[in-house]
Amino acid sequence: MPWRSRPDGLEVRVRVTPKGGRDAVDGVETLSDGRPVLKLRVRAAPEDGAANEAVRRLLAKTLKVPASAVSLETGATARLKTFSIAGEAEALAAALAALTGRTNP
């Protein structure tokens, strides 16, 4: 899964398409090295952190948590990023699993 539980919430690996025409979660994709990532697209351009902020807000809205609960951990200037989401890990993982049609191990 592109997410894993942590004591304080969930860690999510994402692949972002900036200037993607809409803000949406496009499911799960497996990279060439076998790592799964959550595919996201945002309307924002990758300038001055706008796309990162759009992804943060999209994850917050999708998971029904405050935007302040979502923070960028790694990948500020890359398409592959890791976000941490504070909250109840099981509930967050269940919401992502339902959204993507995947079962959480």
Local confidence band at 103 (pLDDT 50, 70, 90 cut-offs): low
Average pLDDT, the chain: 91
| DSSP-derived secondary structure letter, 49 | T
**What does the alpha-carbon distance between residue 51 and residue 49 come to, in Å, rounded to a whole number?**
6
Strands 70-74, 9-17: parallel, antiparallel or unpaired by DSSP?
unpaired
**What does the alpha-carbon distance between residue 11 and residue 43 come to, in Å, rounded to a whole number?**
23
Q: Report the candidate in 100, 86, 95 with the shortest Cα–Cα distance to residue 10.
A: 86
Strands 70-74, 3-6: parallel, antiparallel or unpaired by DSSP?
unpaired
Local confidence band at 63 (pLDDT 50, 70, 90 cut-offs): very high
Q: Are 37 and 31 a contacting pair, CB within 8 Å?
A: yes
Domain borders along the chain are 3-94
Local confidence band at 85 (pLDDT 50, 70, 90 cut-offs): very high
Distances (CA, A) of 81 to 2, 56, 84: 11, 11, 10
CATH T-level topology, domain 3-94: Conserved Hypothetical Protein Mth637; Chain: A; (3.30.1200)
